[in-house]
Structure 1
Amino acid sequence: MLRAVRSTKVTYMPVSPPLVVALAEIGLVAEIRSQLSSIAGCGGAPRSGRRFPEEGYGLTETGGGATRMLDLDESRRYGSLIPATGEALPPGQQGELWLRGPTIMKGYVGDDEATAATLDSEGWLKTGDLCYFDSEGCLYIVDRLKELIKYKAYQVPPAELEHLLQSNPEIADAAVIPYPDEEAGQIPMAFVVRKPGSNVTEAQIMDFIARQVAPYKKIRRVGFVNAIPKSPAGKILRRELINHALSAASSKL
C-alpha cells in the first residue's frame, strides 16, 4: 500500500481503524501522512487515538459518507464532524441525528415496516445515533442509541467511557458493555486489554474513571482479556463480550 501511495502520488486515502492501528504499530502513520498530497480519512468505527487527521461519518442508508472534516484545522477537534444536511440541534443538546439529501436510500427492499420506522414522511433518515452540535456547528457523535447503558434513570454512552479508558497509559484497548444488575437494571462493565508489562488492577481502573465522570457513569465491573473482539471495520462486537460476561457469571453459580 505504501509503495502504491509513493508511486501513484495518491491525494486522498480512506482507511479503517484497524489499518490505522497496524500502521501506527510499525511506525508508518507519519510516513503515510507525509506522502499524501492531501489528507487521509478514517471511518467505519471511532478512532482509538489521534493517529490520522480526518474522520468521516456515514451509514449504508446514506449511500456512503454523510459528513466529514474538511481540513486539518477541523481535524484537531477529536471526535467531531462538520454537520451535513438536516436541521441543526441547539448547541450542547443531545438527540438523535436525522439526515436528508439526494443520497439517502429510498427504503429497505421488501421491508415496509423497517422503512417506515427509519424514514419519516418528509424523507428524513433517523440514524439511530445520539449526537450534539457545539456552538461552532461541529457535530459530535456520542453513541448508538441502542447501545446506551440504562443505569437506573440514566443513560450511559459506552463510547465515552471507552475513550477515557483508552487514554490510560496502562491500557492498550477497552470496551464497555451493559451488565445486568438487579437494583440498577444495568451497570457499565469494562473489558480491558493491559499493555505489556502492566499490572493495572480492577480497583485502579474503576478509580481512574470515577475521578473523571458523574457518579452514574462509573465503571462498576472490570474484566481483563487478551483482545477486544471487533469486526473487520473495527467496530466492537459487544454481543460477544456480553455473552462472555454472562457465561462467566453463570459458571460461578
Structure 2
Amino acid sequence: MPNTECRLIDPGTGEDAAPGERGELWIRGPQVMKGYLNNAEATANTVDPDGWLHTGDVAVVDDEGRYTVVDRVKELIKYKGYQVAPAELEAVLIGHDEIADAAVIGVSDKESGEELPKAFVVRAPGSELTEEAVMEYMAVKVAPHKKVRFVEFIDAVPKSAAGKILRKDLKAR
C-alpha cells in the first residue's frame, strides 16, 4: 500500500531477517493503528516507540517485494535456537501419498526443556502408514532441527469454521 513500510524481523534476535529468510512482519504507516483503546499494556506489546506494528505473522518477501504470510509467531516451535514453522512441516507431510491431512505442534521435552515437533496425521483411506515411516519420510525432506519427533494418528484435524487448525485442541490431547 502507498506510504506503508514493511520489514521482516527475526523473532529470535530482534534483528532484520536476512534476505530470503522468514521473519515477523512489522508494518508502519499513516493507516496503522496508534494503539488499543484504554489498554496501554496491549499497545506497548504491539506497537513499538518507532511506530512499527508487530503483526505476529511470520512472512517471506519475494524478489518483487510481495509479502506472503506463512505462519504465526506464537505457533513457532523453538528448538535449539531455531524457529520451526508448523505450516512448513504440514505442507511437507501433506505431500505424502498416504497422508490425507496433518497438523504440527510443539510439545515440551522434559529432559532437554526444548520444544519438539509433533505431527498429528490423518491417514489416507486404506493406508497403514506407521509412525516410523512418517518420521523417516520427514527426516529426508527437512533439515535436522525440523524433524518430526512424535507422530499421532487421528481421524480428523480439528479446524475452525474458517478452516484454521485448532492447535489448542491438539495441545489439550
TM-score band, normalised by shorter chain: 0.7 to 0.9
- The amino acid that maps onto 1:121 is P
> Paired residue for 2:127, among 189, 192, 198?
198
Within 1, Cα distance between the matches of 2:128 and 2:62?
38
Aligned-pair identity in percent equals 56
**Mean Cα deviation higher: 180-189 or 160-169:** 180-189
Task: State the superposition RMSD in angstroms.
Answer: 2.1
The reply on whether 1:113 has 2:41 as its aligned counterpart is yes
State how far apart, in whole Å, the 1-side matches of 2:115 and 2:157 are: 21
Q: Relative to total residues, which structure has the larger helix share, 1 or 2?
A: 1
Q: Give the structure 2 partner of residue 189 of structure 1.
A: 118
In the other structure, the counterpart of 1:155 is: 83
C-alpha displacement at 1:101, in angstroms?
A: 3.5
Distance of aligned partners of 1:88 and 1:149 in 2 relative to their CA distance in 1, 3 Å threshold: closer
Amino acid at match of 1:188: P
- Contact 1:88/1:133 (8 A) holds in 2: no
Shift, 1:103, TM fit: 4.0
Cα pair 2:36 2:43 within 8 Å, conserved: yes
**1:104 CA displacement:** 2.8
Q: Which residue of structure 2 lines up, in the alignment, with residue 237 of structure 1?
A: 166
Gaps of 5+ in 2: 9-17
Larger radius of gyration: 1
Flag as ranges the 4+ runs of structure 1 deviating above 6 A: none
Q: What is the DSSP-based 3-state SS (H/G/I as helix, E as strand, rest coil) of the residue aligned with 2:93? A: helix
The gaps in structure 1 that reach 5 residues or longer are 1-66, 68-83, 245-253
- Once the two structures are superposed, residues 113-167 of structure 1 have per-residue CA deviations (whole angstroms, 9 ceiling, x without a partner) of 1012111234321101222323332323342111111222222111100111111
Report deviation, 1:241: 0.5
Check if 1:208 corresponds to 2:127: no
TM-score normalised by structure 1 residue count? 0.59
Match of residue 45 from structure 1: none
| Distance (Å, rounded) in 1 between the aligned partners of 2:42 and 2:124 | 43
User: In the comparison of the two structures, how many residue pairs are matched?
Assistant: 162
